[in-house]
Chains A and B, each alone.
Chain A
Amino acid sequence: MPQQEYKLVGKSIPRVDSKAKVTGEAVFTADLELPRMLVAKILRSPYPHARILNIDVSKAKKLRGVHAVVTGKDTAGEKWGVFRYTRDQQLLCVDKVRYVGDEVAAVAAVDEDTALEALELITVEYEELPAVFDAWSAIAPGAALVHEDKPRNINVEVKIDVGDVDEAFARCHLVREDTFVAEEESYFMTEPYAVVANSHSDGSVEVWMPNASPHTKAKALSNALRIPLSQVNVRKITIGGAFGGRSDVFPAEFITCLLSLKTRRPVKLVYSREENTIATRKGHAMITTHKTGVDKEGRVLARESVAYLDGGAYSSTGPIATSVPFLCHEQAYNVPNVRFTGYRIYTNKPIGGMIRVHGRSFACGIDTQLDMIGKELGIDPVTMHLRNARKAGETTPTGSYVASCGMTECIEKTAAESNFLDKFNNPQPLRGIGMGVNSVQTGFPLGIRGGSQAFVKFHEDGGATVVSGVVDNGQGNDHMLVLIAAEELGLAPDDIRLISADTEVTPTDAGSYSMISTFGGGNAVKRAAEDAKAQIFEVASHMLEADPQDLVAANRKVFVRGAPDVGVSIAKIVRQALLMGRPIMGRGSFAPEVDQRREWITNPRGQLSQAFSFGATVTEVEVDPETGMVKALDVTCAQDCGFALNPMVVEGQFEGSVAFGGHGGMLSEEHRWHGGHCLNPTMLEYKIPVMKDMPRIKPIIVETIDPAGPYGAKEAGMSVAMSAAQAYCNAVGNALGIYFNHFPLTPERILDAIEKRKEGQGIRTAWEFQPARVIKTDDGT
C-alpha cells in the first residue's frame, strides 16, 4: 500500500499510555499493594571477594515481625546464566561472595524497619580473599581467580577473523594503531528496581517487576524455583525505563518469590537507588586497541581490534556484550578484512550488562582513529565516513545481508544540516565539530523460541483486543502495537484494548532488548490483524456482495474500494460472524529470518538480525580550557529507522538518545571505585544530564522502508545513541586539537590532556595506554 494511504502510521499522534502517566494513574511495581503483603530486604556482601564460612540467622528469625529468612541453603545452589555455558551466578551465594553487594541472605517482615533490623541480626563469618578490580590485574598470571575454573579470569573469548587481514595490512598506504579506554557507566533509569511476588495455594506464583522480557524472567524463575513454567505468571506492569539494564534475570526476583512461597504471603522488595546501581547491572569498562589500515583515499582495507571488557563478577549477557561492539561496527562500516578478539574478564566488581552506548571505547575509538587518519591524509571526516559507509545490498564480514541501509543519507543530511564542512574547514578557537556513525541490530535470538506471536479478538461493538507478549519499558511499545492493529483493522486507537507482557495470557515474545520489538512483535501484531481483517472481509463480502479483495477497512467500516459511503460497520460484521458461528479471531506470528546456527562464540557467522538501523550524529561544542567544561551547542542527528511509525515518538527516542548516549555518555557518566566499592552509586554523585545541560537537538528521520519491517520500520533511536557518543568525542577533540582516548571526557581528563598536549609530535592520542593484545594462556591456547 502506498504510504499516503495510511490512516495512522506515519503520523504524530499522542501515545496511548501517556494519559495514565500524566495523572499518576499508571502503576509501577513499587506502587502495588496487596493484602497481608510483607516487605523484603537483602543482606549483601561487604567484601569484594570472600569465602562464606558460616551464616547464623537464628537471631533474625526470632525477631518479632519477621516471617522468613533465606540463605543460599534454601536454594540448592541454583545458578543463573543467560546461556547454558555461562551459568555462574548463584541466586543466593553459597560458598563465596564475589563483589560488594553480592546477595547473601534475605528476610521478609511486616514492615521495612523490622526487615532492616533483622538484617542486622544476621551474622556471617567470612574469610576475605585477594581480589581483582580491573582487567589488567585480573588477567595477570597468578592473579586471584573470581571463579576457580576460569584461568586468567577470562569469562568469554570471542574470535572473529574474516578475509586476509595480514595480507591487506601489507598493501595499505597507511596503518595506525591506537588504544582507547572507557570507564563504567550506569543506567540510572528513573524507577529503581522492585519486585512483588504473590504465591498461591495452587502452587503458582505471580510476579511483577520491571523487565525487558516477561517470558525470559518466567523461564528462569520456573527453572530456579522448580515450578512448572505455566505456574510462574509474570504480570504486566508499567516500567520506568530499561536502556539494557532490565534484560537480564536478577537474584531479586528469585529471592522475592522464594520468600513469598515460604510465607504464603505477598512479598514486596524495593531496591534503594544504591542497590539499583550495584546489584542490577552496570556498563562495562573497556580497553580497545584498533589497528587500522587504509588506502590513499582513506578507504579502510584492514582492521584488527582487540578488546578487554571488565565484566565484573558474573557472566550476565557476556558473550553478547563482548561481541556487539564489534558487530555494530562491522554493520556500520564496510571493512573487507577484519579480525576481532574480544575478552570479557571477571573482576570483583558489580556485574556488567549491555547499556545504551555499550562499547564506548570501541565505537569512539573507531571514529577518533578515522579522524586521525583523515588528518594525516588531508581528508575531511565527512568524506572519510562516506567512503567507508555501509550500503544496502552488501553483506557484513560475519555474513549478515543488509537489505536496507540509509547510512549515506544520514551522513549527508547531518553534514548538510549542520554545515559541517564549512565549520570544520574554518575553525573558531575552542569551538569544535565532530561526526559519529553507527548501526544496531533489530533483535537477535536470546533463548526464546519462535519469535513473537499475537492474537486479535473482537467485541460486539466492533472494538478489538490485541494480545501480545511484547513488553513496554517506556519507549512506547504498547502504543506501537495498538497503532499497527488500528491501522490494519480500520479502527481508531481508542477502539483497541491491549493485553501484553503477561506470561499467563500472552503468547511468547523474545523481549524488548536488542531493539526487536517493532520488527518482531510489531510484525506479529500486524499479521494477527491482517488475519482478522481477512475474516472480516470474508463475512463482509457476503453482506456487501463483493469480492473480499475489493474491500477496504477504514473509519470502523468495511466498504468496496472507491465507495466509502455504502459500507457496513465492523460492529455489524462482528455480530454477523458470531451468528454464522465463525467469530473473528486473528492470529499472527513472526520470527525474524536469521541464521539459527549462528552462535556468539562457537559460530559467529551467518545472518545475525534480519534488519539493521543506521545513524549519524554531528555535535558542535565549545570548550572552556580553564575549567575543562564542555558546552554542547547543537546536535544534529539522523537515523535510518526504516519507517517512522510515529514521527513524534521517533524524535523523542532520538532526543533521549543524544542525552543518554552523547551528552551524559561522553561528558560525565562514569563510576569511580575504591577497593571494589562504588564511590558514586546514587544520583547525587553520578552525573546524568539535566535540562539545563542539553543543547538544541535537530532530529532527522531517514526512511528506507525495510522490505521485512512492519510498514518498513526497523528500530528508533539506538543508532543515534551510539553515534552521538562518537560525535561528542570528536567534537571536543576538534575544539582542542586533541585526539581523546580515555572516556568519558570529564573536565579533569580534558585539563590533563590540555596540559600534556605537545606541539609538533604528529598525530597522536592524548594518552599512551598499554595496548590490548591477544592473551596467551599457559597451555598455549
Chain B
Amino acid sequence: MRKQLLSLTVNGDPVELAVPPNYTLQEALRNDLGLKGVKEGCSEGVCGACTVLMNGAPVRACLTLALEAEGADIVTIEGLSKEGWLHPIQEAFVNLGAVQCGFCTPGMIMASKALLDRIPNPTDDDIEAALTGNFCRCTGYAKMRVAVRTAARELQEKAQD
C-alpha cells in the first residue's frame, strides 16, 4: 500500500513519518518511533493498554488510524517523566503499590493523566468512570484508585505552591 506523509508532535518533538493509510497510531508509535510503552493488549479497543493522549484526550492507539493524528499533539507514557523525574501519577503508582505485572500500567497512567488534567479533584465515581475502560488482571484496582486520589492531591498542592 502506498505510503502517505504524516506530521505530528510526539512527546513534544515534531515528527514526520511515511505510513500506509491502514496503519494505526499504535503501529506508528511502536514500530516507527520505538515507543514500546504503548502496549498492545487486545487490538480491538477494549483493554486500554495502548491509551495515549491526543490533543489532551485519551485515545486507543490501536483504534486510531495514524493519519487521523495529522497535526496532533500526542503524549505517550515515555513523555510523562521529565529528565528522570517521575510525574506525580507515576510516583503515586510506584509508592502505593499500584503496579504489579506492569503491562496495563502505561495505559492506566495515561488515562489517569487525562482525568486529572480535566478534573483536578475527582470523586471516586470520576475515577471509576475514567479508568473502567482499562483492564488490569493483577491488582483488583484497589491500589490504583488510591494512587489516583493521592496524585490528585499532590498535583493540587503543587499547583498552589
Contacts and interface: CB of A to CB of B under 8 A. Distances in A.
Contact of B42 (A27, A651, A652, A682): A682
Interface string A230-252: 00000000111101000000000
A15 B97 CA distance: 7
Contacts of B143: 648, 651-652, 655
Contact of B37 (A24, A187, A684, A692): A24
A18 B142 contact: no
B156 interface: no
A357 interface: no
B142 A189 contact: no
Contact of B94 (A19, A691, A692): A19
Contacts of A648: 96-97, 143
Contacts of B105: 21-22
Nearest to A192: B41
B55 interface: no
B24 to A, nearest CB: 12
B39 interface: yes
Interface in B11-45: 30, 34-44
Contacts of B106: 22, 24
Nearest to B138: A656
- Which of A12, A21, A25, A655 has the largest count of B CB atoms less than 10 A from its CB? A21
Contact of B97 (A24, A649, A697): A649
Contacts of A33: 34
B61 interface: no
Nearest to B34: A33
B2 to A, nearest CB: 14
A23 B81 contact: yes
A683 B101 contact: no
Contact of A190 (B30, B96, B137, B144): B137
A721 to B, nearest CB: 10
A174 interface: no
B37 A25 contact: yes
A676 to B, nearest CB: 23
A240 B141 contact: no
Contacts of A191: 39, 41, 101, 103
Contact of B46 (A22, A474, A683): A683
A694 interface: yes
Interface stretch (A311-319, A366-374, A522-530, A657-665): A657-665
B99 interface: yes
Contacts of A187: 137
B105 to A, nearest CB: 5
A243 B145 CA distance: 23
A603 interface: no
Given A14-B95, A24-B78, A655 B140 contact: yes
Nearest to B127: A691
Interface string B87-122: 000100111110111111110010000000000000
A475 interface: yes
Contacts of B128: 691-692
Contact of B137 (A188, A238, A658, A694): A188
Given A24-B106, A189-B137, A241-B103, A272 B36 contact: no
A28 interface: yes
Interface string A654-691: 01111110010000000000000000001110001111
Contacts of A692: 128-129, 132
B135 A697 contact: no
Contacts of A18: 93-94, 99, 102
A494 to B, nearest CB: 13
Interface string B134-154: 111111111111000000000
Nearest to A23: B81
Nearest to A111: B31
A476 interface: yes
A656 B137 CA distance: 7
Looking at chain B, what size class is its interface with the partner chain?
35 or more
Give the size category of A's interface with B: 35 or more
Contact of B140 (A22, A25, A28, A697): A697
A649 B100 CA distance: 9
Given A14-B97, A18-B102, A476-B100, A273 B43 contact: yes
A473 interface: yes
The listed residue with most A CB atoms (<10 A of its CB), out of B38, B93, B142, is B142
B76 A241 contact: no
B95 to A, nearest CB: 5
Contacts of B131: 691
B49 interface: yes
Contacts of B44: 273, 682-684
B103 A190 contact: yes
Interface string B39-78: 1111110110100000000000000000000000000111
A83 B139 CA distance: 33
Contacts of A239: 101
B35 A691 contact: no
Nearest to A19: B94
A17 interface: yes
Most buried by B among A20, A26, A243, A473: A26
Nearest to B102: A21
Nearest to A20: B102
A688 B37 contact: no
Q: Which of B105, B109, B129 has the most CB of A within 10 A?
A: B105
A30 interface: yes
A240 B142 contact: no
Contacts of B10: none
B36 A31 contact: yes
Contacts of A660: 137, 140
A688 B104 CA distance: 14
Contact of A684 (B46, B97, B99): B46
Nearest to A696: B142
A531 to B, nearest CB: 31
A689 B139 CA distance: 11
A189 B141 contact: no
A710 B80 CA distance: 38
B145 A240 contact: no
A648 B132 CA distance: 23
Contact of A658 (B86, B102, B140): B140
Given A12-B97, A24-B78, 20 more contacts: A21-B105, A23-B90, A24-B37, A24-B76, A189-B137, A190-B138, A191-B39, A192-B40, A241-B101, A270-B40, A273-B43, A652-B138, A652-B140, A656-B137, A656-B138, A656-B140, A663-B140, A682-B42, A690-B135, A691-B127
Q: Which 3 A-B pairs have the closest CB atoms?
A: A24-B37, A474-B101, A21-B102
Interface of B: 30, 34-44, 46-47, 49, 76-78, 80-81, 86, 90, 93-97, 99-106, 109, 127-129, 131-145
10 contacts: A17-B99, A20-B102, A24-B76, A31-B30, A191-B103, A192-B41, A270-B40, A659-B139, A683-B42, A691-B145
